[in-house]
Amino acid sequence: MAYTIGIVGATGAVGQELITLLESRSFPVKELRLLASARSAGKTMAFKGKEISIQETRPEAFDGLDIVFFSAGASISRDLAPEAVRRGCVVIDNSSAFRTDANVPLVVPEVNAHVLREHKGLIANPNCSTAIALMGLNPLHKAFGLKRFFAATYQAVSGSGVKGMVELEKQIRAWVNGETATPEVYAHPIAFNLFPHVDVFLEDGYTKEEHKMANESRKIMGLGNLAISTTCVRVPVMRAHSIAINAEFERPVDLAKARKAIEDADGVDLVDDPASNRYPTPQACTGVNNCAVGRLRVDSALENGLSFFVAGDQILKGAALNAIQIAEALPR
């Protein structure tokens, strides 16, 4: 069976990756409809050797589509995703608009693909840091029973879209040339810098991004009372996120069993040989579908604890790839 597919936000970084993945993974596409803002309408993008004209994102553009990927921001998703569902589409939304909605499945297929049986036409794709972190956490949860975890993220500028990537490149070029570049996307210069500030700060001192990671992890893993504390950090990396995690488990941990759990898990590679300088790095994970887990060790401060490091491509497993995997896992 082939599907008529739509992509809202086709010209953005995630939209472009969705187009590439539909082709490289041989997803059964009968027709591809590319949707974007009015200023992009009429331009063309390539798919399977053909140029496809971009259409303006309007309600009638959803008519006749089977699956629509939304990747144009929460406000557009809130306005138009329900309309697409009313017109008979299955919507896979990459924004934060519906992730905490109890009636909308929030899915990382390697973790909770079974909830797709319950969808009512709208499915949420998780936050990028959440998806990447759970690729390391979930196999260990299956082995030992997750009790709580602490995380510090090292988030690439691609999390801010193309504009974040452009800002990092501009600032690096300015630094090389002895010039000063004024920050526009971020509150501080990002080149050769980092800051513990991703998304807006809330009254409790955490950022919205940190709350997303905690709330989404509980929902996806089905652990409503899971204790989580996170610090999200923006770093001068182009497009792969990394996360340092300290996790405490219900049952005694065993390093050999932990490594085996990661090795046996889908979508993740064990990269864990510090003696040979082998551990996950964002550069090695860029453009790679699988996430990487390494630096596995017994945590010295937590009972039944493990410390480890996970990295993954923010645009792939953190966004576009996870969305495509959801579509591939949909009940037929």
Domain boundaries, the chain: 3-125+320-329, 130-314
Q: Which residues are catalytic, by number?
A: 128, 241
Q: What is the pLDDT of residue 25?
A: 97
**Per-residue pLDDT for 332 more than 80?**
no
**Residues 12-17, mean pLDDT to the nearest whole number:** 94
**Per-residue pLDDT for 76 more than 80?**
yes
Q: What percent of the chain has pLDDT over 70?
A: 100
**Residues 185-208, mean pLDDT to the nearest whole number:** 98
Give all strands (DSSP E) within 209-320, no chain letters.
227-234, 240-249, 268-270, 291-298, 305-313
Please tell me the class of the 130-314 domain.
alpha beta
Provide the phi-psi class of 172: left if phi over 0, else alpha when psi is between -120 and 50, else beta.
alpha
**Per-residue pLDDT for 169 more than 80?**
yes
Q: Cα(first)–Cα(last) distance of the chain, in Å?
A: 9
Q: Quick one: pLDDT band at residue 247, thresholds 50, 70, 90?
A: very high
Q: What is the pLDDT of residue 304?
A: 98
Q: Quick one: pLDDT band at residue 24, thresholds 50, 70, 90?
A: very high
Q: What is the pLDDT of residue 282?
A: 98
| 287-294 long-range Cβ contacts below 8 angstroms, 24+ apart | 287/313, 287/316, 288/312, 288/313, 288/316, 289/313, 289/316, 289/317, 289/321, 290/317, 291/132, 291/135, 291/136, 291/267, 291/317, 292/268, 293/135, 293/136, 293/262, 293/268, 293/269, 294/270
The token pair at 31 is 């027709």
Question: Topology of domain 3-125+320-329, per CATH?
Answer: Rossmann fold (3.40.50)
What's the rounded Cα separation, in Å, for the pair 222 and 302? Answer: 23
